[in-house]
Every structure is written in structure tokens, then in C-alpha cells.
Structure 1
Amino acid sequence: MLPSAKLTCLLVDDNEMNRLTLEHLIELTPELELVASFTNAVDCLEFFRQGGQVDLAFLDIEMPLLSGLDLVRIMPEPQPDIVLVTSHRDFALDAFELRVTDYVVKPLEFPRFLQAVQRVIKNRQAPAAAPQAAAASFAHDQHFFVKVNKKMVRVNYEELLYIEALSDYSVLVLDKQKLIVYTTLKNLEERLPTNQFARVHRSYIVNTRRIDVVEDHMLIFGKHEVPVSKSYQEGFYRRLRGV
């Protein structure tokens, strides 16, 4: 897409006032061109199933019949950049896991709206082959956020030693604390920079920069030990020699 080209977009919100506000903000933004405005996610889904395409979709989350999160989960490929717009912060972790481009909390203000648009533009201009572009949406260069007891907690990459799977939960072991998060190891793995973190076991992801000792297929992080399972050993040790 040329830098001067407009981003085609649509919006979905069952609240008329919120929908009109978004339409007005889009109209004020020269980088955007509104293609469609829907009152529910079902009609929006049909738009995509009929072959409709846009560069960007602004989605409310809490809507009848089909939520914005559910819409993202079943939306046909290729999906547009997604900006979720909601009155609640509690859905942020789900949004992270779906790898949406931005998550904006109402009431929507124009500066924050423009920030989301610029994030989309930057995301679309980034080289497709850049390996670190696969880090979590909203994740900054040095940290990401997880939901713990209804709060969003920042986790600095350098402080994270390893992550352990525990049934439907994951335990993040940091220098000074442990965080128990209701999400799978696979979801967290998708949010971590691949040049720093590695899967070494079905139940463990480790920070390769924080390993103190490797001994008898065990990784030692101070007083903590993590096993390297047989199926991961060859690839991990080959990578470790190059770290």
C-alpha cells in the first residue's frame, strides 16, 4: 500500500451514539475511508463471508448474538487489522491472545483514536519478513501485559525466567515473584520474542538469556531448575550454542 493511499475501514457497534462518534472520528481522519457501518457483528460477518474486504475494522466487544471477540475468532482470512473499542478493560487479555492491533477503552477520545490509526499504519508498513513483528500486539520492545486477578500486570522480558504450564493456567516465574495467569502456554508463546524465549518441554518456555547453568538436560536459573525434554534437546542445544 502506498503511503498516500487511504485505509479502507468498517466499524461495528450496537450503540448508536458510539457508532456515530466513531463515524465522525473516521470522517475527521484523512488516512481513513469508511466502507461500512454495522449495528451488529452478525451483519459484519456476512459482509466478510460475501467477499467484502477492508484494511481495518473497529469492533465493539459486548454485542448481542455475537461479540466482537467471537467475530475476530471466526472472521474469514485474510483478516484486516483489528482495533477493539470497548467500555471494559477486562477483555484485554483475550484481545492480546487474538493478536489484535490495538485495544481502546471508551469513552473514545480523538488523540487516542489517532494513536490507534497510526499503530495500524505502522503495522502495515512493517516488512512482512521481520521476525520480531510476531511479538504480542500492544507488546512494547521490553515488556508485555498479562491479566492477574482482574488486573493487567506488566511483565518485563528480562525479569521473566521461565513459564510453566499448569492445567488451564500458566505460571510466570520472575526474579521476585510468580504470576498465575488463566491462559495456555501456547498463547503466551505466541506473544514472546522468538530471539529470547524458547520452548524446551511440553510444559516449559524459558528465557535463554537468563540461563545460569546447563547440566544433565536441566536448565538452572538460580534456585530454579527446568527440564529439557528429549524431543526438544537437539534443536534447543543447537540454538543455545549460537546464543
Structure 2
Amino acid sequence: MSNVTKQKVNVLVVEDEILLALDIKMLLTRLNYNVQEIVSSADKALNILDERAKEIDIMLIDIVLEGDKDGIEFARVIKKRYNIPFIFVSSYFDGNLIERAKSVNPYGYLLKPVNEKELLISIELALSNFSNQPPDKAISNKPWQGANTDTALQINDSLFLKKDQHFQRVTLDDILLLEADNNYTLIYSKSERFLYSTVLRKMEEKLPSGQFLRVHRSYVVNIQSVTGFEGNTLFIGEMRIPVSKQYREEVFRLFKAV
């Protein structure tokens, strides 16, 4: 297997209290998330997003910020320009503020001081809601009802796979194949394996059909990772993947046409 750098979930922290921001960064680092940047105002955050929005997976936004825009007004801009989930962080919990916050459909709401366990749960559920539902419907009066973090989250060109107690980003191109193991699914990336207590069919539904192909009742392969074939067998590096009779014609027609 080739050595591939593990990619962490990237977080943009928008917080004007520097000590609290550094505390949040420490918690996120301990939870194995990567803090892409800490900024104190909406304008500074927008400058970062204009340059590299694709590098940001989720944002933590203080409602009270430096500058002309507060966190809620900033969130309205995010909803219009970008497709990135965000969680509000605030010292306040009054009714009017909550109603304003709800109007922009956040993916979570954390009260200061931020607790490590609550932070972990909030990020996992925010990513889960963002992955599984349209952004404008992800948060209701009961935003996290039915969320399931024991699954792979497909966001843009990556899967967010659970590893220990955190999500790890794996690009679709880095996924080699999926293998069924009774009611579990093994996901092989270029650098490691992930085990999920989910049947293969459910995992297959999260993947783009133009790139991933069922070749056997126990295997789904990334067709871009196939390095060769012989008889009824595909090769992915040193791995040999059987192709069953019902998929044979479709599979080998595809590879012979390449």
C-alpha cells in the first residue's frame, strides 16, 4: 500500500475572545480535529472562505463578533455563498437570540464555556445532519433527532469515516474497495481499514455509482483503483477481488472498453 497522509476534519473557528478561541483549539486538537484558522470577525472569515472554502469542513461561530456583522448575520452570508455546516457558540441563551439563531438553520448551538464531550458530539451530529439532509432542512426545533454517527458521511468528494472517537476525512479517490463481513462492512483506503456495523448495501448507497461498482455480493470496488484483471478476478494492487457471474458482463465490458 502507498503511504497516504491522513486527512483530519478542518475547522474554522470564528471567535473574538482569544483565550476562549485557544481553549477551543486545544479541545479540537485533542479530539483529533484540525483547526484551519482562528479569526475574530466575519470579514476576516469571509476572506478565508473566498480563498479556500473547499478546505473548510465545518465552522464554529461565536454570535458576538468584532466588526459590523454578528455571527448570525455572518451565517446568513454563509448560507447564500457556501455549502459549509456551522455551529453557533454563545454565552447567551435568551429567547430572542435563539429565535434569531434558528432563522439561519445552524447545525448546532454550544454554550460557553465549551465542554469537550459536548463539542465532540455537536461536531459529529452536525456533520451527520449535513451529510444526510439538505442544508436548509438539517436543523429544526429538534435538530439532532435520529442522527446516526455510526456511519460513513459522504460530503462533497470525501467520506468522513469514524476512527476511534473522531471522523477522519478520506477522499473518494483514496478508497480502494468495500468488503462485506456479515452485517459489517470493511472499507479499505490506500493507508488503512475502517470497520462499520452497517451492511454493504447501505454503504454502497453513499458512493457515486460512476466511480464505485458492485462486482460481487461481498465486494464493491473503486474502478479507478483497479490495476488489472485475469479470468474472473480483478486486481487492486496485491489484492484479488472475485467477480461473480451476475456482474461479470457489466464489469469486464467496462474494463475492456478502457
Using the size of structure 2 for normalisation, the TM-score is 0.47
Specify which structure has the bigger relative contact order, considering alpha-carbon pairs within 8 angstroms and separated by 6 or more residues. Answer: 2
Instruction: Using structure 1 for the length normalisation, give the TM-score.
Output: 0.50
